[in-house]
Amino acid sequence: MMDRVKVVGAGLAGCEAAWQLAKRGVDVDLYEMKPGKMSPAHHSPLFAELVCSNSLRADRLQNAVGLLKEEMRRLDSLIMEAADHCRVPAGGALAVDRSGFSERITARVRACEHIRVISGEVDRIPDGIAVICAGPLASDALCRAISGLEGVSTLNFYDAAAPIVTKASIDMSKVFRASRYDRGDGDDYLNCPMDRETYFAFVDALVHAETAPVHGFEENMVFEGCMPVESMARRGPMTLRFGPMKAAGLKHHAENLFANVQLRQDDAGDEMYNIVGFQTRLKFPEQKRVFGMIPGLENAEFVRYGVMHRNTFLHSPGFLDRHFQVIRRPGLFFAGQITGVEGYVESAASGLYAGISAACMALGRPIPEFTRKTAIGALGCYVSAENRDFQPMNITFSLMDPLDRPVRDKTARNGMIADRSLALLENMKTEGLT
């Protein structure tokens, strides 16, 4: 009788890994410490909780994360099935009702006959085949167990979440509906336009606002993709205008549009909106004061203020191979942000790859090679390739193998890379390799 595979952590990576194992007929013990013990960033007892944002980013194949999502769909990803089912308007991006998303995944995992959910904290590395998906906020006890593995070294970086406000508290007379470049339905975002004077007054207030202390915080340890908005503002007065407050693609919608703040729908009921790109560590009263300078948010009711927390990730090169397996401990896999992939989609994709790899090992089959011609394979190669300055990384086309011939047009080039990847995946499926 085949031993049960252990999966530690029921976040996006853990649920995906467990699902990939179960759909191949492998019995799984899925360990989750919630709700008995919660990390500083989590609030819900549900699985696959989305903490920082409800957006899974771009959904076009000409964008690397869009390709990654499509690859996952082709491989029967639980995370992508739930995301598509719980989708809310977000222009060219894939955003979800976060509660519905977690509820759906939790229900499907708990109903799966091959998955047994075990509540409680794990304080040691499991024997046999196992996948550690504890996330970047693993418990102290599990971190100690991980640190005892041969060849492991860990690093830290800081992550932040953006505030959420109620739609009812937004002054709709001061905002307009539009998506940049009319993507999606063309009106998926609420936009808060700023003229030049309002923008510079806002930046000045932001730079001088009081921030909450974060233990051990250093500006150079913040992941660029989640840079606090006040940190960006300190880089220069125009930084935000060419970052999260850019007006590009919206100039025909409002007069004197110098800068713009976008609000993205956060729930299926269209009652809550996320302030896009406004991750912050400002003190809560300061968030209300400074963000209240944004046109339309003068009397905003905050459902959630922005927060910041420390994340932990492994120095994966030299510790993990391209299948997310520990080099010196065959049968032990890691997945999720703790491996050094960055982003919800990338975390789930690493869980998918680790889950398939663990399933193949349990069944005595060869582990499939998702090469750098695929986005999934490129992530595995990134975390395992020699890199002295290893840092968390989102998927980009630069991580993938280039085309055999140069193509000058970027959109066409990316589309051809995507077509190549999806054709390769279909061939692997046809040949029974996945």
pLDDT in tens, 365-402: 999 999 999 999 999 999 999 887 787 888 999 899 99
Q: Where are the alpha helices (DSSP H) in 23-167?
A: 64-74, 78-85, 98-111, 140-147
Structure confidence at residue 152 (pLDDT): 87
* Element containing residue 288 per DSSP (H, E): helix 284-291
pTM: 0.80
**Can you read off the two tokens belonging to residue 220?**
């150079």
Q: Are strands 5-8 and 130-132 parallel, antiparallel or unpaired?
A: parallel
The domain 5-153+315-430 having CATH identifier 3.40.50.720: the answer here is no
pLDDT at 135: 75
- Determine the residue type at 292: G
Cβ atoms 86, 361 nearer than 8 A = no
Question: 213 pLDDT band (50/70/90 cuts)?
Answer: confident
| pLDDT for residue 321 is more than 60 | yes
293, HSE (Cβ side, Cα atoms, 13 Å): 17
Q: Delimit the CATH 2.40.30 region(s) of the chain.
A: 161-309
Q: Is the pLDDT of residue 250 over 90?
A: no
Query: What proportion of the chain, given as a percentage, has pLDDT over 90?
Result: 66
* Nearest CA-CA partner of 282 in 239, 237, 231: 231
- Lowest mean pLDDT of 74-78, 137-141, 195-199, name the range: 137-141
368 to 231, 310, 325, 358: CA distances (angstroms): 42, 34, 13, 11
Q: How confident is the model at residue 225 (pLDDT cuts 50, 70, 90)?
A: low
Return the structure tokens found at 249: 């693609």
Enumerate residues 6+ apart whose C-beta is below 8 A from 241. Answer: 199, 247, 258, 259
User: Is residue 277 within 8 Å of 129, Cβ to Cβ?
Assistant: no
Q: How far is CA 148 from CA 103, 124, 136, 384, 394, in A?
A: 35, 10, 17, 20, 28
The tens digit of pLDDT for each residue in 114-133 reads 999 999 999 999 999 999 99
Residue 198 pLDDT greater than 70, yes or no: yes
What does the pLDDT read at residue 311? 75
Which residues in the chain are classed under CATH 3.50.50.60? 5-153+315-430
Q: For 112-195, where are the alpha helices, taking DSSP H only?
A: 140-147
Average pLDDT value for residue range 52-79: 93
Is the domain spanning 161-309 CATH 3.30.750? The answer is no
* Cβ neighbours of 366 (radius 10 Å): 8
The identity of residue 54, as a single letter, is N
Name the 3-class secondary structure at 202: helix
